[in-house]
Amino acid sequence: MEIIITSDYEDMSRVSAEYIAREIKNKHDLVLGLATGDTPIGTYKHLINLHNEEGLDFSKVKSFNLDEYVGLAPLHVNSYNYFMRENFFKHVNINQENVFVPQGHIDDPEQFSFWYESQIQKAGGIDLQVLGIGRDGHIGFNEPGSSFASRTRVKALYKQTIEDNARFFNHIDEVPRFAVTMGIGTILESRKILLIANGRSKADVVAQFIEGPVTSQVTASALQLHCYATVILDEDAASKLTRKEYYNWVRDNKHMVQKRVGR
Ligand code: GLP
């Protein structure tokens, strides 16, 4: 895992957007996995700026979102479909036909999950998956105990996740109890993974998934099994890592490292 520690949220957002932009410039028809939450909003803003100011072209990009609440229609203000449209899709030149966000407001989410996996396969697999992280260590909505082999499916949400996400709803009882989410197995098949995290509230879980054991109790720790995972943090989220000095040395001497591994 490559760990990049940036100074603050703004810096984390800029560095992660530049990373994503480089991947798009290298492969115009990149298959991009996308995440929701407060964390990636700044990254999306920077990508929108790169589109407006430097012509970053999304016309051939295909996107697959990680997850969606079961029971919320795509136009519901708390749905992830709505979030993505408002915070990203409507501001760039991505082709609507190339946008895939799980549907939660359907009769048969299980059937939908099989279809969603088949669309990812049809697109040739995900080139770069962007992730945030929940305070219980989840990626997507893969709550503690999720199998590392899991595929897109319906998952019951953990109490802490429901409490954390209640801030977006009028009342905690309105927070859906289930979500459709890509599985850990689905995520691990992505060619590259980029996880971003900021703030002190993420510091414990960030230290656990990077420096702790690989365990389904902290599903982000599955990234330790991936051969091309990058983590971009702000200082606060990185504050409980014990090998910060090493990560910073590698970041600052990347040109030497790259020469050796041929990246
Ligand atoms: C939700 C999403 C995750 C996201 C997490 C953290 O549970 N399903 O994909 O990473 O929230 O959100 P935030 O970035 O708001 O802390």
Q: Using a 6 Å cutoff on CB, does residue 182 contact ligand 1?
A: no
CATH of 2-262, one of 3.40.50.1360, 3.30.950.10, 3.40.50.880, 2.60.120.10: 3.40.50.1360
Q: How far apart are CA 7 and CA 256, in angstroms?
A: 23
- pLDDT tens column, 51-94: 999 999 999 999 999 999 999 999 999 999 999 999 999 999 99
pLDDT of residue 255: 78
Q: Using a 6 Å cutoff on CB, does residue 196 contact ligand 1?
A: no
Q: Using a 6 Å cutoff on CB, does residue 39 contact ligand 1?
A: yes
Tell which atom from ligand 1 comes closest to the C-alpha of 141: 8
138 is catalytic: yes
Q: How many other CB atoms are there within 10 angstroms of residue 122's CB atom? A: 9
Phi/psi region, residue 199 (left: phi>0; alpha: psi -120 to 50; beta: rest), is left
| Residues in Cβ contact with 149 at an 8 Å cutoff, skipping those fewer than 6 apart | 183, 184, 185
Burial label, 129 (beta-carbon count in 10 A; 0-12, 13-18, 19+): buried
Domain positions in the chain? 2-262
Torsion of CA 33, 34, 40, 41, to 10 degrees: 140
pLDDT of residue 131: 98
46 is catalytic: no
- pLDDT tens column, 145-194: 999 999 999 999 999 999 999 998 999 999 999 999 999 999 999 999 99
In this structure, the residue with its CA closest to atom 13 of ligand 1 is: 37
**Structure token pair of residue 119:** 């669309």
259 pLDDT above the threshold of 80: no
Residue listed under structure tokens 């999720």: 146
143 is catalytic: yes
Tell me the CA–centroid distance for residue 133 and ligand 1, in Å: 6
- pLDDT tens column, 101-152: 999 988 898 899 999 999 999 999 999 999 999 999 999 999 999 999 999 9
Element (H, E) at 196: strand 192-197
Mutation pick for ligand 1 pocket among 36, 152, 165 (CB with most ligand atoms within 8 Å): 36
**Structure token pair of residue 110:** 């299980």
| Residues in Cβ contact with 79 at an 8 Å cutoff, skipping those fewer than 6 apart | 68, 69, 72, 73, 104, 105
In this structure, the residue with its CA closest to atom 10 of ligand 1 is: 132
